[in-house]
Structure formats: C-alpha cells, structure tokens
Homo-oligomer: A and B are copies of this chain.
Amino acid sequence: MEVDTESSYNQDINPELFVELMRLFFDRGWMVGSSGGMAAATADKIYYSPSSVQKERLTPDELFVFGTHEMKLQSRPRCPEIKESACVPIFNLLLNEDENTTCIIHTHSKYANLLTQLLAPKTIFEITDQEMIKGILNRETLKAYSNQHRLQVPIIENATQEYMLLPQIKEVLTKYPNTSAVLVRNHGLFVWGPTWQKTKIMLECYEYLIELACDMIKHGIPLIKAD
C-alpha cells in the first residue's frame, strides 16, 4: 500500500508529534498544571511522557524512549531530575493486557472529575442514544459502537499514588472487557486504543460525552432513556 506521507492517517507516532499532541491536550485544559500523560508505541519503541513537567513545553528530547526489541531504555531527558510519568505502571499494564493496544492517554479534565462526583457513589458512567458513541471502539472487537449502544465507562476510586490504581484497573478490565476507558474519581480519565489516531479520536468523543452528561445532569435530563 502506498502511504500518503502528508497524511496523519497512517503516520506513526514520533517525538515531534508526541509533544505536539501534548500541547493540544494542554490547550483543551486536559493536561494543565503538569498533569496527564501519554504512552504510545511503534513497532520497536514505546514513548512515555515525563512526570511533573509542563506538558505544553515538552521538547522531543524530553521523552522516555523504551526499545521493545532490546528491552531497555534507548533515551531519556538529559536532565537527570526529570522522571518518567507516574502512570508508567498503568500504561504498561494496558499495553501488556491487550496486544492491540498501542496508545494510552491520561487526562485531568475538569468535566471528567466533576462527572465522577455527580455520579457518586456509582461506579459506572452510562449513556446511550448519542451520535458520538459511534466514535468509540469495543476493545475486544475493535469495532465502533452504534449510537444506540449503552456506553459503559467504569469509575474507580482514587488512590494516593497512581500505581495503587493497578488492582482496580485490572478488575475493571475483567469486569468490562469491552471498555476502552476508565474514569478515576476526583482525578481524571484513561483512554486506550489500537493506534494513537483512534485513541485521540476516542478521547475527544469520551470528553464530549462526559461534558454533555454534566450538562444533562444539571438540566435534569436522564442519561439513559426510559424504555
């Protein structure tokens, strides 16, 4: 297949593109205050964002690059104080859990946080009859859902450290084998998928539905229609 070199459709992730996406997510309000992060893999590399730094000011050489053939770190930021994202254990769990997953994006959007509070103590966000559900993939089949599908996003409770979320994430992956996202109460959202393109598209669809759901709740509109 001849690849269109100017198109982003089949473009592999690379350091320049990675930091460009960080700027975009910062501008959307999803990675402010050094929050959030991403892991994205190619055939032989995994790129991870660093921890505790301004996401919109990342330079391509500030990423952690892990070689998956030699199984070791190929490069890291020159500044030794910069650490890899605290989410790396979660990113690796999701990458290893499913061979199709190559990208995970973690955001701290205000609406994701607010929705988990509005739904508390529920441990699931459910919505249906929304066009944007068509942008979400079933993790097992990798097929897009119908807009009539009852979308389910599990909500887990926050912990003091990100790695402490691992048991809960493992549990929801078993309980909801089709989900491509999980919400963390008072914290944010994790979304994963088979390419960075589809993961970013799903992220935008999830954030749209989350923000819409907050508005619907404010207006007393049910998220699930009575039959």
The chain A residues found within 8 Å of chain B, CB to CB, are 1-4, 6-10, 32-35, 52-54, 57, 59, 61-62, 77-82, 108, 110, 113-114, 117-118, 129-132, 135, 146-148, 158, 160, 184, 186-188, 197, 200-205, 207-208, 211-212, 215-219, 221
Contacts and interface: CB of A to CB of B under 8 A. Distances in A.
A146 B160 contact: yes
7 contacts: A7-B82, A9-B81, A33-B205, A34-B201, A117-B219, A118-B219, A129-B158
**Chain B CB within 10 Å — which of A6, A9, A132 has the most?**
A9
Contacts of A188: 131
B215 A135 contact: no
B208 A3 contact: no
Contact of A32 (B130, B147, B208): B208
A188 to B, nearest CB: 7
A4 B200 CA distance: 29
A57 B8 contact: yes
Contacts of A132: 33, 35, 108
Given A7-B82, A108-B132, 13 more contacts: A2-B78, A4-B79, A7-B77, A7-B79, A8-B54, A9-B62, A10-B79, A32-B208, A34-B201, A54-B197, A110-B208, A118-B219, A131-B188
| Nearest 8 A/B pairs, CB to CB | A33-B204, A33-B205, A131-B187, A4-B78, A32-B204, A8-B57, A33-B135, A6-B59
Contacts of A221: 117-118
Contacts of A201: 33-34, 52, 54
Nearest to A59: B6
A64 to B, nearest CB: 14
A114 to B, nearest CB: 5
A51 B79 CA distance: 36
